[in-house]
């Protein structure tokens, strides 16, 4: 039986890894979550300034889709982020913009979501 994968573009912060993996496994029934980490990735994608890192992230997502048939991509932001020290409202706006950037990569996947991790690192979906 083939194992199912999802992919998360997550912050490098160690507090953000386990809650995202558990959320993705429980919510989407995946076995594994390929984790692509970068400090404050929602800000990087939203601002669009650091094209080298953005291309690095895109290539890693492409790899996860190609090698593991990942069908769900999550972009993650979190409370108390050193890489994106903006407040929650601003970070959620970054997450919304990041979804548009990821969608522009035109990968064939079932879903792209944005997750916010609150002060307890509890995930919730950031909508439109």
CATH number for the domain spanning 111: value is 3.40.1050.10
Work out the pLDDT band at 2, boundaries 50, 70, 90.
confident
What is the extent of the structural domain holding 18? 5-125
Q: What is the pLDDT of residues 70-125, one digit of tens each?
A: 999 999 999 999 999 999 999 999 999 999 999 999 999 999 999 999 999 999 99
> Under a CB-based contact definition with an 8 Å cutoff, are residues 77 and 116 in contact?
yes
Query: What span, in angstroms and rounded, lies between the C-alpha atoms of 51 and 44?
Result: 9
Greatest extent of the chain over all pairs of C-alpha atoms, in Å: 43
The number of domains in the chain is 1
Contact predicate 29/93, CB 8 Å: no
Q: What is the pTM of this model?
A: 0.96
Say what the pLDDT of residue 1 is.
Answer: 62
CA angle centred on 69, ends 108 and 2, rounded to 5°: 145
Question: Across-strand partners of 69?
Answer: none
């Amino acid at each position: 039986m083939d194992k199912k994968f999802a992919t998360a573009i997550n912050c490098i912060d160690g507090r953000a890894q386990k809650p995202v993996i558990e959320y993705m496994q429980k919510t989407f029934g995946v076995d594994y979550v390929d984790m692509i980490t970068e400090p404050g990735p929602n800000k990087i994608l939203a601002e669009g300034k650091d094209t080298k890192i953005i291309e690095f992230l895109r290539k890693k997502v492409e790899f996860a889709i190609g090698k593991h048939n990942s069908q769900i991509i999550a972009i993650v932001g979190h409370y108390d982020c050193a890489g994106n020290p903006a407040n929650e409202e601003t970070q959620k706006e970054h997450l919304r913009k990041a979804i548009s950037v990821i969608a522009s990569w035109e990968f064939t996947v079932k879903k792209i979501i944005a997750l916010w991790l609150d002060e307890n690192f509890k995930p919730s979906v950031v909508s439109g």
